[in-house]
Amino acid sequence: MRIAIASGKGGTGKTTVAVNLAISLAEHEPVQLVDCDVEEPNDHIFLHFRADQVRSVAKLLPRVDENLCTHCGKCAEACEFKAIAIIGNKILVYNDLCHGCGLCAMVCPTGAITETPHELGVIELGEADGFQFARGVLNIGEAMATPIIHELKDELHPNHLAILDAPPGTGCPTIAAIHGADIALLVTESTPFGLHDLRAAVGVARSLSVPVAVIINRYGIGDNRVESYCAAEGIPIVLKIPFSREIASLYSRGIPFVKELTEWRDRFIVLHEALKKVATS
């Protein structure tokens, strides 16, 4: 089973749920936790992780041989991302805009364009706290997060329960993390911002035909608007984590709360059973 943990709004507790769920389940079955928030990966802060393997993830950037280029402009015309331009007798490549699709090299009639890898970030693989762990890290200043997420998904072990910690938002990186999951576990808080973004996240998951379940975090702050919404939409609320200074304090120090509040381990095991039912219903 593949569980994607998402939220729409940031800071609602995705990492908290992902890490505590992984630790609780790893006592009973093979688990793999994958931190797909490659822009701001945080899972490792809560784990004892040393990477056994580090791999670079790159996109291919065009390099133009000025001796072969006739400035015909076919590459610039073909590029959908406006990443290549001919200005007078000069050819310019905008690395940030390039998606690395290779079309410019294909259309060049003189073979002036070759491609060289440009690192976007890395993926790291290894073991942490009794389970398999993988994470991706986008390099500072790079815009494209999704190729790193796809590389991470290639590392999923077929026989493990996979827990994917998705990035916030509803854009490409979030879609990449949820795509192909058996269930999207959406973590929210019952505030106007939380509900607004939960609706967006539900929209994304449904557009990808992934069933959804909701966790209300910091239960007690806010009001009952998330419960009303879920009841109206027929979305199961599978767990409520109360607002507690103790949980907030453990989080702030990078300690998974199931390590101190051990009664929560059973609750995460029950949660897993509930998720199985939602995923297959």
Tell me: does residue 168 bind another protein (CB under 8 A). Answer: yes
Number of residues in contact with another protein, rule: CB under 8 A?
Answer: 63
Q: How far apart are CB 29 and another protein at their closest, in Å?
A: 27
Tokens representing residue 171 in the block: 């854009």
Pairing of strands 113-128, 131-138: antiparallel
Site string for another protein, 101-120 (x = CB under 8 A): xxx--xx-------------
Tell me: does residue 95 bind another protein (CB under 8 A). Answer: no
Q: Which residue type, as a one-letter code, is found at position 76?
A: A
Stretch that binds another protein, among 49-57, 94-102, 124-132, 267-275 (CB under 8 A): 94-102
Stretch that binds another protein, among 61-69, 158-166, 199-207, 258-266 (CB under 8 A): 199-207
Tell me: does residue 10 bind another protein (CB under 8 A). Answer: yes
Q: How far apart are CB 100 and another protein at their closest, in Å?
A: 7
DSSP string, 162-222: EEEEPPSSSSHHHHHHHTT-SEEEEEE-SSHHHHHHHHHHHHHHHHTT--EEEEEEEETBS
Q: How far apart are CB 89 and another protein at their closest, in Å?
A: 26
Q: Round to the nearest angstrom and report the end-to-end CA distance of the chain.
A: 14
Tell me: does residue 88 bind another protein (CB under 8 A). Answer: no
Chain positions 241 to 260 lying near another protein, rule: CB under 8 A, are: 245, 248-249, 251-254
Pick the binder of another protein from 95, 196, 270, 277 (CB under 8 A): 196
Q: How far apart are CB 203 and another protein at their closest, in Å?
A: 3
Report the residue number, 95 or 270, with the smaller CB distance to another protein: 95
Report the residue number, 193 or 268, with the smaller CB distance to another protein: 193
Chain positions 138 to 167 lying near another protein, rule: CB under 8 A, are: 138, 140-145, 150, 167
Contacts with another protein by CB under 8 A lie at 7-12, 15, 37, 39-40, 42, 45, 60, 78, 80-81, 96, 99-103, 106-107, 138, 140-145, 150, 167-175, 179, 191-193, 196-197, 200, 203-204, 206-208, 221-223, 245, 248-249, 251-254
